[in-house]
Amino acid sequence: MNPRRKQRLIAVSSILVLLSGGVGAMLYALNENVDLFYTPSQLVDGLGEDKNKPVVGQRLRIGGMVVKGSVRRDEHSLKVSFDLVDTGPIVTVHYDGILPDLFREGQGIVAQGTLLNATTIEATEVLAKHDENYMPPEVAEAMKGIKHVPPKQTYSAETP
């Protein structure tokens, strides 16, 4: 390799290495801010090494699994409340609006709203998360024992 090419190779490579280092350091510093949502345990125990806890009244997103049997609907309006969990603590979410189709108990969701008190959130938007597993209904039933029931059918069964 001739000296000029070698020089350019070193220059381009060092730019790339320095820049990756810089971006890496930046992302590391911003780590907590890049997260889209708090998990219930982050909300209760605090975030990161400083144990930063969000203050009451703060707007935030919370993401977790909907606890089975925790969904309580108001009979005369769209008001609904449910509990979220990840590894331990439970956080309650109140919401007034239409839930996404994928919302069901045991499913991951992300809610945006205001913190009412340490473990309660008044949500303005509820989004459903889905996981990276894809399979036909028959396979899911055989593997996981999950009987797929589309949400609409569940409601029609309750209110004939």
Q: What's the rounded Cα separation, in Å, for the pair 11 and 9?
A: 5
Nearer CB in complex with other proteins: 76/134: 134
Binding site for other proteins (CB under 8 A): 5, 8-9, 12, 15-16, 19-20, 23, 27, 31, 34-37, 39, 63, 99-102, 107, 110, 125-141, 146, 148, 150
Q: Minimum distance between the CB of residue 66 and other proteins, rounded to whole angstroms?
A: 14
Its sign, for the CA torsion 149, 97, 95, 59, is positive
Question: C-alpha angle 119/40/25, rounded to 5°?
Answer: 125
- 94 with 120: CB under 8 angstroms? yes
Nearer CB in complex with other proteins: 49/75: 49
Q: Minimum distance between the CB of residue 139 and other proteins, rounded to whole angstroms?
A: 5
Nearer CB in complex with other proteins: 4/76: 4
What backbone torsions phi and psi does residue 38 show, to the nearest 5 degrees? -85, 145
Nearer CB in complex with other proteins: 136/160: 136
